[in-house]
């Protein structure tokens, strides 16, 4: 067994603190990764507070992991010691259902094995995530990190990047499309970067006027303040797509009216309360409401390779693990541009 240091939540009300546990010894197909950086996702906070229900404690969060391979099993073909590798939101799946066979492991009919707050395929061993010094993962669920990118900026691509890349590719968003991005946070800033990179006309929809300059720096062509009814009037029936990244309660009907005929609003944020959907706002323009969840291993690798080729990374603020509870407080206030990333070296001191 591999002695591992981490930060964990002991229950839904406790702050994160030091936690030691043991990773499994690597099996034939396993890769051992010495974690260098781990992104801080808003879902980490939802889950340590049990806001989605079913949280498993103690919980070591973290599913935006980049590190260096230190050991490989005898049957590993795709990785070697010294490689830079990544691990995203899941570390296993059933591998035999139609979704898994289609490379859509995130939609595994038996349920994917989350990188943390989940159970291994034995149904009883909890998974622990990337707020830790090392991780052991089957090579089939490990990603190759392209050379030449800052690793701290790569880490959030494993969730925020693929969560926005996947729907943009699925709906073939690109040149000739008008794309609205609702919310300029960890997901939203990646949607702006990727949407602009794909050739779409990108409009940032935000409640914060102070974010206009940043939105345009990131690649947005236009900025619309969602509290400005007069200014928003020109965007009625305007967008082909809106990516909704907001995880706080908000009015979906308000944004449906901004969609053109056959327009689609794609939900990637997960508010705690259900949305209300007015039928006529959908029916009268043949609008669609859709959802998307991260991406499969093949698509995630495709996203990483695309970002490597186009020099796209997340905008990050690197923090020591000892500041994680303070970072959560700041994240709730929107006080981060645009993803906290933990320097795991701080956990080893």
The reported pLDDT for the residue numbered 47 is 95
Task: pLDDT band for 274, please (50, 70, 90 cuts).
Answer: confident
pTM above 0.85, yes or no: yes
Rounded percentage of the chain residues whose pLDDT exceeds 90: 90
Per-residue pLDDT, 247: 85
Classified as helix, coil or strand, 247 is: coil
Residue 2: alpha-carbon gap to chain centroid: 28
114, 141 contact by CB (below 8 A): no
Residue 57 CA to residue 49 CA, distance in Å, equals: 10
Given the DSSP bridges, would you call strands 65-72 and 178-182 parallel, antiparallel or unpaired? unpaired
Contact yes or no for 69/83 (Cβ under 8 A): yes
- DSSP letter for 306, please: H
Helix (H) or strand (E) holding 42: helix 42-48
pLDDT of residue 273: 80
Q: What token pair was written down for 176?
A: 């000739």
Map out the domains of the chain as residue ranges: 2-159+295-347, 161-291
Q: What are phi and psi of 320, to 5 degrees?
A: -75, 155
Domains 2-159+295-347 and 161-291 share a fold: no
Q: In which region does residue 294 sit, left (phi positive, over 0), alpha (psi from -120 to 50) or beta (all else)?
A: left
Distance between CA atoms of residues 245 and 145, nearest Å: 25
Q: Which residue has the higher pLDDT, 262 or 278?
A: 262
Bridge partners, 84 (sequence order): 68
What are the start-end ranges of the H helices in 49-201? 98-101, 151-154, 160-170, 186-197
Rounded CA-CA distance 154/133 in Å is: 18
Q: In a 10 Å sphere around its CB, with 0-12 CB exposed, 13-18 middle and 19+ buried, how is residue 79 labelled?
A: buried
Residue 32's pLDDT band, with cuts at 50, 70 and 90, is: very high
Protein fold of 2-159+295-347: Quinone Oxidoreductase; Chain A, domain 1 (3.90.180)
Q: What is the mean pLDDT of residues 257-265?
A: 97
Long-range contacts of 91-99 (CB under 8 A, 24+ apart): 91/115, 91/127, 91/137, 91/138, 91/141, 92/120, 92/121, 92/138, 92/141, 94/121, 95/140
The tens digit of pLDDT for each residue in 138-150 reads: 999 999 999 999 9
CATH number given to 161-291: 3.40.50.720
Instruction: Please give the pLDDT value at position 256.
Output: 94
pLDDT tens per residue across span 205-224: 998 999 999 999 999 999 99
Mean pLDDT of 14-35: 97
d(CA 84, CA 298): 17
Residue 86 has pLDDT above 90, yes or no: yes
Cβ atoms 74, 30 nearer than 8 A: no
Confidence of residue 60 (pLDDT cuts 50, 70, 90): very high
């Amino acid at each position: 067994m591999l002695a591992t240091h981490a930060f964990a939540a002991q229950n839904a009300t406790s702050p994160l603190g030091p936690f030691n546990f043991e990773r499994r010894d690597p099996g034939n197909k396993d890769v051992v990764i010495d974690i260098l950086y781990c992104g801080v996702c808003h879902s980490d906070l939802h889950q340590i507070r049990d806001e989605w229900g079913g949280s498993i404690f103690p919980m070591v969060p973290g599913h935006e992991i980049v590190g260096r391979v230190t050991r490989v099993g005898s049957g590993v073909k795709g990785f070697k010691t010294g490689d830079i590798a990544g691990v995203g939101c899941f570390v296993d799946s059933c591998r035999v259902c139609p979704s898994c066979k289609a490379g859509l492991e995130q939609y595994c009919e038996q349920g994917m094995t989350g990188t943390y707050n989940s159970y291994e395929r034995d149904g009883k061993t909890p998974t622990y995530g990337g707020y830790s010094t090392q991780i052991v993962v089957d090579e089939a669920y490990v990603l190759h990190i392209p050379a030449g990118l800052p690793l701290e900026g790569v880490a959030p691509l494993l969730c925020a990047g693929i969560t926005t890349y996947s729907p943009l590719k699925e709906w073939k968003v690109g040149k000739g499309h008008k794309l609205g991005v609702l919310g300029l946070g960890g997901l939203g800033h990646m949607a702006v970067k990727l949407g602009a990179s794909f050739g779409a006309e990108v409009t940032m929809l935000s409640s914060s006027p102070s974010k206009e300059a940043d939105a345009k720096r990131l690649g947005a062509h236009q900025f619309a303040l969602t509290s400005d009814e007069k200014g928003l009037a020109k965007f009625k029936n305007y967008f082909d797509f809106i990516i909704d990244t907001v995880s706080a309660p908000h009015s979906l009907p308000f944004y449906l009216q901004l969609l053109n005929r056959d327009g689609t609003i794609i939900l990637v944020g997960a508010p705690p309360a259900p949305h209300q959907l007015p039928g006529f706002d959908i029916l009268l323009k043949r609008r669609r409401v859709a959802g998307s969840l991260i991406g499969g291993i093949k698509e995630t690798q495709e996203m990483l390779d695309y970002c490597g080729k186009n020099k796209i990374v997340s905008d990050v603020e690197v923090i020591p693990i000892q500041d994680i509870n303070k970072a959560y407080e700041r994240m709730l206030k929107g006080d981060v541009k645009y993803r906290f990333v933990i320097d795991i070296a701080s956990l080893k001191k």
